[in-house]
Amino acid sequence: MEIVICKTKEEASKLAAQMITDAVKKNPKLVLGLATGSTPVLMYNEMAKAVKAKKVSYKQVKSWNLDEYVGLPGTHDQSYRYFMNKNLFEKIDIKISNTHVLDGMAKDPEAECKKYEEQIKKAGGIDIQVLGIGSDGHIAFNEPGTSLASRTSVVYLTPSTIKDNARLFFKGKEKEVPTRALSMGVGTICEAKKIILLAFGENKQNAVQQMVEGGVSQFCTASALQLHNDAWIFCDEASAKKLKLKKYYAWRSATKMGK
């Protein structure tokens, strides 16, 4: 794991966006795994700026998103399809037909998940997977107690995730948040060739500490990334606060990145 600790989330988002821009320039047919939530928004804005400045093009890039709520159509303003269209796809030159988000309205959700895994495999696998982290240490919607070998499937949200996500729903009401989602599994995520995880803010302190310095455990599914040999964790100072070796990580990553 490479832990990059920046003063601000703005700085961390710029570095992460640059990593993606460089990778797309190198391989215009890159396969991206994408995340929703508030964390990657600044990074998506930076990626869009690079497209606007004609530094990079996503015309041949394909993407697969991590997850989607069961029961929300892509037109619902809290669906992850809607989020991706608004926060990234409409701002870059990617072909919408090359973007994939699980269908939360699928009649046969398990078949939808199986199809998704097959599509990713056919595309040659994910080159770079973008992740956020839940305050309970989840990646995608893989909540505590999920097997670290799990594949894309129907999953059940914890009360803590429902509470965290309620702020985005009608009047912030927890009962508006779907209790189930379709989500890439931890095993699926860990097959990506490179991982970029972003973590910002004080409420991610415990999750970040567990992910990086706790044992590998299904109680914090992000800890599975300890077994990945090209995982980059971009933190701001607030989320990195509880890391015991934060000075060492900061020095090591700065040296490696030539800063």
Active site residue 136: yes
Q: Does residue 199 contact residue 239 with C-beta atoms inside 8 Å?
A: yes
Exposure string over 43-74, b if 16+ CB within 10 A, otherwise e: bbbbbbebbeeeebebeebbbbbbbbbbebeb
Active-site residue flag, 108: no
> From the list 13, 21, 39, 153, which residue makes contact with ligand F6R (rule: CB under 6 A)?
39
The residue count of the chain comes to 259
Task: Please report, as residue ranges, which positions from 40 to 69 form the binding site for ligand F6R (by CB under 6 A).
Answer: 66-67
Residue 138 in contact with ligand F6R, rule: CB under 6 A? yes
With beta carbons less than 8 A apart as the criterion, state whether 176 and 166 touch.
yes
Q: Is the Cβ of residue 67 or residue 127 nearer to ligand F6R in the bound state?
A: 67
Interface with ligand F6R (CB under 6 A), residue from 37, 104, 178, 185: 37
- Token pair of 252 as six digits: 């090591």
Nearer to ligand F6R, 151 or 252 (CB): 151
Residues in CB range of 231: below 8 A, 6 or more apart: 1, 2, 194, 195, 197, 225
132 binding ligand F6R? (CB under 6 A): yes
Residue 182 found at the interface with ligand F6R (CB under 6 A): no
- List 46, 112, 143, 164, catalytic entry: 143
Tokens of 200: 């910002």
| 139 counts as binding ligand F6R under rule CB under 6 A | yes
| 104 sits near ligand F6R (criterion: CB under 6 A) | no
Residues of this chain that interact with ligand F6R (CB under 6 A) are 35-39, 66-67, 132-134, 138-141
Catalytic residues: 67, 136, 138, 143
